[in-house]
Copies of this chain bind each other. A is one copy, B any other.
Amino acid sequence: MIRKFMEGVIDKFRKSESEVVNMQSDFDNQSSQNYKGRLFVVEGCDGSGKSTQLHLLRRYLEGKGYPVYFTTWNSSELVKNATKIAKKKNLLTPTTFCLIHASDFADRYEKQILPHLKAGYIVLADRYIYTAWARDAARGVEIDWVKNIYSFAIKPTAAFYFRAPLEISIDRILSGRPQLKFHEAGMDLKLSNNIEESFKIFQGLIKDQYDSMIENEGLIVIDATLKIEEQQRLFRKYIDEFLKDYTVPEYLSIIGKENTSQL
């Protein structure tokens, strides 16, 4: 019953959203502070351990009774199939590749992220627009063009960059998942005929992009070489600070209690 009630609440925000015809907004002039909810995002190279950190943060926030909405990159059902087929075919130019991912993100943003933010949730995003910026720029697509495409998405409350030396994140990936995917390894860029070698070069290009965003976009750096517990302690400290002025909307407080009882 609670679930049904909440679906109704979210649906209300979603509907009001779909009626807003002009969706574009100036990324720099708008932030999630304009909404009842908060948006925290984690970024970093594959193997940086950011997903683990976000998972632990989610547990922490739910334990505190907060209404949390969790979302990951490329989770939209709608365009997923197209991206998969396209990737398999290995036919896409960087421009098309960028636009397909942007379609996917726009769908997820306007149907999931934004309605939950408006409804007052704490939205946790495992990768956000910075992932697209970094990957597309690493593919040689003009960064200003990419940024403009994603300008419909608001600036998050805070974006955390889990930063590790390239060798460490690469080692973590290569030791755990030896079957690299074609585009994941940047093979479309013809950096190397060897997929592992290509992956290493491509991850380096992505890391360069992230590094340049620290200052330009105000990413908060967390040293991903620290112990998991230590990273989480730092992470929570930042989050607690950002949540100082956050209050759970009354109509959502029931969610928190429900979650707590499940822990």
Residues of A at the B interface (CB closer than 8 Å) are: 17-19, 21-24, 78-79, 81-82, 85-86, 89, 91-96, 99-100, 102-103, 106-107, 110-111, 139-142, 145, 148-149, 151-152, 189-190
- Whether B23 contacts A94 by the Cβ 8 Å rule is yes
Cβ of A184 to closest chain B Cβ, rounded Å: 18
Chain B residues near A149 (CB-CB < 8 A): 99, 148-149
**Chain A contact residues, majority secondary structure:** helix
Question: Please, which residue of chain B has its CB at the minimum distance from the CB of A91?
Answer: B78
Residue in contact with A21 in the complex, picked from B100, B110, B140, CB distance below 8 Å: B140
> Contacts A22-B140, A189-B21 known; A96 to B110 CB distance under 8 Å?
yes
Knowing that A22-B141, A79-B82, A99-B103 are A-B contacts, what are 5 other residue pairs whose CB atoms are under 8 Å apart, sorted by A's residue number?
A22-B140, A23-B141, A93-B106, A93-B107, A93-B111
Chain B residues near A19 (CB-CB < 8 A): 190
- Whether B85 contacts A81 by the Cβ 8 Å rule is yes
C-alpha spacing A219/B131, complex, angstroms: 39
Chain B residues near A139 (CB-CB < 8 A): 21
C-alpha spacing A148/B99, complex, angstroms: 12
- Whether A23 contacts B93 by the Cβ 8 Å rule is yes
> Contacts A24-B142, A85-B81 known; A95 to B190 CB distance under 8 Å?
no
Could you name 16 residue pairs across A and B whose Cβ atoms are closer than 8 Å? Answer: A21-B189, A22-B140, A22-B141, A23-B94, A23-B141, A24-B142, A78-B82, A82-B103, A91-B107, A95-B152, A96-B103, A99-B102, A99-B106, A102-B103, A145-B151, A145-B152
